[in-house]
Amino acid sequence: MSIAARLFAPRAQSITSSRELERLLISHFGVAAASGASVNTDSAMRVAAVYTCLLILAQSVGQLPCQLMVADGSNRNKATDHRLYALLHDQPNEWMTAYEFWSMNMLHLASRGNGYNYKVMVRDEVRELIPFHPDSVLKVEQDEQYRLYYTVRKKDGTEVVIPQKYIMHLRGLVSNGYMGMNPIEAMRESIGTAITMDRMAGKTYANSARPSGVLEHPQKLSDPAAKRLRDSFDENYASAENAGKTLVLEEGMKWTSVSMSMADAQFLENRKFSRSEIGGIFRIPAHLMNDLEKATFSNVEHLDIGFVKHTLNPWLVNIEQAVKRDLLTPDEKKTHYLKFNVNGLLRGDFKSRMEGYARGINFGIFLRNECREWEDLNPYDGGDEPIYQSNMEPEGGRNADRQ
């Protein structure tokens, strides 16, 4: 079925607002930027820099262990016996892995500003999480009591209104209190410029990087003759397939190029700037986008740590708090919370890890079995006992602090 047919096919409910119709048209056809390019999420993802940024965010979040934790006094433990633990950590529904689920939600958040998941509930217990594509959520409305209602188009084309109770809603940057902003729509001009430059590069190379010029003939040519000459020249010398061919001119003709070369137009520099600008939109450091100009062996580890702290962590906190809000009961919220484990992304090289473990163990900060667990090693007897340096033992001996 064509896009137009899907847009205007009969539905159980009709589109009642011009804003809703506008949103549907934008999602399918995009909005023209000043550069002339039509920008929507799909067209933006055909830009290498945009796709790379979204891929990095989705894969980075998808690979992180997602653990439901429970607080017991000052202790923090994995709530493995809770009904939601396996749902969030292993498999949210019958056909998706946790990696697929969280990477998809991160992609929806970063590319459309919202992620929607339907809660399959049995006796007020969440048994499955079914993700909705953001484009299938036609509108989100808030009533006078600030309760939210989601109008969703089902696979059969009909529409259904779902109350807030059954939706886990992940939001990006929020301006109205309940809807995330679409970053691609907000930054359509920068992305539209990148789309236009990609098209320009493709057209230029299709013409063997010599896009246009003037054939001068010493005599006056009729319109049919000029057309035949132009078509013959394009057929034999234009396009990448004809690159390197020797140009043969007869009857005193002369070729004059009227286009700036890519170097003269600083084309490559402009594309590099566009990539950097798009990376800034998604807060992706340059070295992760294969720009190693400012990356060195001495600083790349710190650049990776900065990516976790300043790019991933805000997204993770956002998701963790949304899960707590939408999936836990009021009583469970007092003791339970979601935590993405980013330790694997913050790990240094082997030497640095071993030195850090040794210092932590010697100062009584870490247990030996804790460090072995972080390295995916099995525990051993006695490894759960803290080690103190002799001059740092508590007064009364090692067991004094347990009494």
pLDDT above 60 (res 355):
yes
- Better pLDDT: 160 or 400: 160
pLDDT computed for residue 11 by the predictor:
43
pLDDT above 60 (res 401):
no
**Per-residue model confidence as pLDDT tens digits over 24-45:** 554 544 555 555 567 777 878 8
pLDDT above 50 (res 209):
no
Residue 159 class from Cβ within 10 Å (0-12 exposed, 13-18 middle, 19+ buried)?
Answer: middle
Q: Is 267 helix (H, G, I), strand (E, B) or coil?
A: helix
Q: Long-range contacts of range 353-361, CB-CB < 8 Å, 24 or more positions apart?
A: 361/387
Task: Report the chain's mean pLDDT, rounded to a whole number.
Answer: 79
**Arithmetic mean of pLDDT, 69-76:** 87
- Better pLDDT: 274 or 273: 274
pLDDT computed for residue 296 by the predictor:
64
Helix, strand, coil % over all residues of the chain, rounded to 5? 45, 15, 35
pLDDT computed for residue 230 by the predictor:
73
pLDDT computed for residue 120 by the predictor:
94
pLDDT computed for residue 34 by the predictor:
53
Q: Confidence class of residue 276 from pLDDT cuts 50, 70 and 90? A: confident
pLDDT computed for residue 35 by the predictor:
54
pLDDT computed for residue 241 by the predictor:
57
pLDDT computed for residue 331 by the predictor:
94
**Arithmetic mean of pLDDT, 250-263:** 61
Q: Which helix (H) or strand (E) holds 66?
A: strand 66-72
pLDDT above 80 (res 251):
no
pLDDT above 80 (res 388):
no
**Arithmetic mean of pLDDT, 193-217:** 63
Q: Backbone phi, then psi, for 369, in 5-degree steps?
A: -70, -30
pLDDT computed for residue 239 by the predictor:
55
Residue 264 tokens read as: 């003269």
pLDDT computed for residue 14 by the predictor:
42
**Arithmetic mean of pLDDT, 75-96:** 94
Select from 206, 173, 184, 240 the least CA-distant residue to 47. 184
pTM for this predicted structure: 0.72
- Better pLDDT: 337 or 278: 337
Question: Residue 176 has what DSSP assignment?
Answer: S
pLDDT computed for residue 8 by the predictor:
38
Per-residue CA distances from 171 to 45, 71, 90, 148, 288 (Å): 20, 26, 23, 13, 25
Pick the range with the lowest mean pLDDT from 4-18, 171-185, 192-206, 376-390: 4-18
Residue 315 and residue 340 in contact, taking contact as beta carbons nearer than 8 Å: no
**Arithmetic mean of pLDDT, 334-353:** 83
**Per-residue model confidence as pLDDT tens digits over 91-148:** 999 999 999 999 999 999 999 999 999 999 998 899 999 999 999 999 999 999 999 9
pLDDT computed for residue 74 by the predictor:
79
